[in-house]
Structure 1
């Protein structure tokens, strides 16, 4: 009987531990990304021009624009239209997409990131720009008033920084909410393989492994997007680049009400 009781307690501890780890990691992540942008490593992780250098900054925006164009041509999308970027950081993507957009909305946890992103966009073009701060206690509030209002939803180098599937589900739900029918969510995640070291690292010090906090298999993310009301159409894999490895890019379409299934 004593042994059975010990086994029960051990099983209960194993069941609770992931939730406890996630809660602790969420607190660490919120503190980290809400900090000021004066720290050089923080600026680097947020992809500020001063943090990663001119060449890497330009390369991020250029490479993502080229992948987007491949998706857009295949899906017969003419232009990005009105764009919202969820997790805009220091503006590397915004500076590349905003000059081609009708309007650009930058959303981020950090006010410093929003200010820097706005500075980069304004130095690159005169496209109308709006900034929105994401409150992690109620992230959907940053999308208020944008129901069916955007043509393109960007979320790049963000999902691996989040804590758990529910946080990612929330982001995909916001994308589904703000996109017009037929609009594209251009989303990137970090994929894991059969090797254990490629899986997420929640429960450890967040800043030590922040770019690998939450990972998925290719199929897992495809199915999650579909569950969130976005129809996966295309995938582009980048096994390695100057920043890291195992990047998967998805073209996710918000279905039209009368659209034929692919």
Structure 2
């Protein structure tokens, strides 16, 4: 099935049933969506590890990099991480989506891939950013103080005092103290860290034993709060379907009977709605 299109950079395929694209990253998003379906169809027929399989997979990755850039733009003002790093981790999410996507899902690849990409980026922020919110000025001061302490420790053969740090950096001592305190927010201490033992007992006491627990329902409240406006944007029938399935806990067969459609049709509608809502929640600012 040869394809020729100079506009998209697609030339005659080799072999004839696998299109050869010279510059996949230059393919327009609209063309990428159409070509991706073809490549996924062919990918399922190819043996993993073969040059043709590798070409098809790599082409899918490069053609859909626009999804990574689209998702990454939503995180550019988060105040942590370079955009280059965000693009890299987003690309990891794209690759995971490509490896797990199946045409039988009856879902657009775009809708399937974005949650993977956004999830990977959020994981990056979770694992590499400050444990608590700290102003950018203090984040930068922490780095400066760390370098200065190391430099002065080598000269003095001891840890420098606050006064010595302030003098070296031409800062007032209050600023240095503020920076040192803020540095404590870079990492969070483990709740399993031992802090002593129970009186008259050899049992170890940890921070987790004396700290209050986080109410697991709080996350649910946040999710429901984010979901409410998205449900309001649905048309009446879609909102009714969601309400019957998750509010009234009706079966798909009961919903189908109520609406006068087949159970299979209800299943497809629910799958589409859930994917739509999931993508919308994950891509919110």
**What TM-score comes out, normalization by structure 1 length?**
0.21
**What TM-score comes out, normalization by structure 2 length?**
0.20
Which structure would you say has the larger Rg?
A: 2
Q: Which has the higher strand share?
A: 1
Q: Which has the higher helix share?
A: 2
